[in-house]
Amino acid sequence: MIKGYLGVDVGSVSTNLVVIDEGERLLAEQYLRTNGKPIQTVQEGLYAIGQELPAGVQIAGAGATGSARYLISLIIGADIVKNEITAHAIASSAMTEDVKTIIEIGGQDSKIIILRDGVVIDFAMNTVCAAGTGSFLDQQASRLCIPIEEFGDYALKAKNPVRIAGRCAVFAESDMIHKQQLGYNTEDIIAGLCEALVRNYMNNVGKGKEILAPVMFQGGVAANHGLVQAFNKYLELDVIVPRHHGVMGAIGAAILARETSRKKGGTGFKGFNIKEINFKTSSFECKGCSNACEVVQFYENNELLARWGDRCGKWEINAV
């Protein structure tokens, strides 16, 4: 029997699942679109990754991360729930021992993590603006009728990237339309967008941070070659895109699950075949005071498992 550790990272745009072995080798991975249905996506993803796993692998620990981590931990029976910043840092330092900077760009958020001697010493996340994230690129790609997967390769063909204002996603779009109407070619505009996104990231998330090599570039957006090139140009160094750049958060959660389950000597993992279980959430507005909190109730086969969302705590059950 081989011991496997499951990591699940449910973000706003994608849901990633991985299983690693004791030595942090990837045994299976699933990268799915969340499509606004985190519960269903995780149920399907779990089933799929269970099918993909080689025979004889038994899950000895499970971890959840990402913005839906608390909800998901209840579904899979996670041994540990961890924020995505720590999860990414853990995964990167496991892959590249002396990593000093991590650039992570996901669907709706982006972060920078600064490490020295294997320890996180500083980090930042984007605040109220999504201009430097994957959603921004997604939107512009669909405006130009180019599949997002090919977007970056267009940028590589550019000869003279156009200067585009990247401070705000809305204004970047008007600027881009303007440049199109002036007759600039698509490749140069796309390369300009990539550079604008990098500028925005560096001025917003990366502001004031000491960026030293080796720099890891991960998250779904790292698949974009145009952005890799734009980062290289801006930072005047070569960023490293890890092979499993899209699932690093999940790998981090899996590594943490290994530590935790070893410590507690067992796992609460519910198994891969949870497709049959009916998970359901419902919500109501509490009328107790003028806060009018939206309280969420979580059911497993009609049995109330947890309740959260109230500020005062009077409805709370098993809230994590």
Partner 1 sequence: MSKIGIPRTLAYFIYFPFWKTFFEALGQEVVVSPPTTREIMDIGVREAVNDACIPIKLYHGHVAYLADKVDYIFCPRLVSVRKHGDFGTETFCPKFLGLPDMVRLALNNLPEIIDERVDLKKGKDELLKVCARVGETLGQSGTEIKRAFKQAMKVDGRFKQLLYQNYTPVEAMAMIFDQQEHIPPPRQETDLKIAVVGYPYAIYDAYINAGILKLLQKEKVRVYTQDMLSDKTMNRQARTLPKSMFWYFSNRAVYGALHFMQEKGIDGIIHITAFACGPDSIVDRLLEIESRRRNHIPYLAIAVDEHTGEAGIRTRVEAFLDMLRFRRDKA
Binding footprint of partner 1 on the chain (CB under 8 A): 67, 82-86, 117-123, 125, 127-128, 208, 289-293, 311
Q: Min. distance of Cβ 119 from partner 1 in angstroms? A: 5
Q: What is the CA radius of gyration of the chain?
A: 21
Q: Give the C-alpha separation, 29 to 251, whole Å.
A: 9
Q: Min. distance of Cβ 297 from partner 1 in angstroms? A: 17
Sheet (strand 215-218) strand order? 119-125, 110-116, 101-105, 215-218
**134, exposed or middle or buried, with CB in 10 Å at 0-12, 13-18, 19+?**
buried
Closer CB to partner 1, 127 or 302, in the complex: 127
Closer CB to partner 1, 125 or 305, in the complex: 125
Contact 172, 202 (CB under 8 A): no
Closer CB to partner 1, 67 or 101, in the complex: 67
Q: Min. distance of Cβ 43 from partner 1 in angstroms? A: 22
Closer CB to partner 1, 58 or 291, in the complex: 291
Closer CB to partner 1, 1 or 119, in the complex: 119
Contact 42, 164 (CB under 8 A): no
Quick one: DSSP state of residue 12? Answer: S
Q: In angstroms, what CA-CA distances link 70 with 78, 186, 215?
A: 9, 42, 30
Q: Min. distance of Cβ 208 from partner 1 in angstroms? A: 6
CB atoms closer than 10 angstroms to residue 26: 15
Q: Min. distance of Cβ 116 from partner 1 in angstroms? A: 10
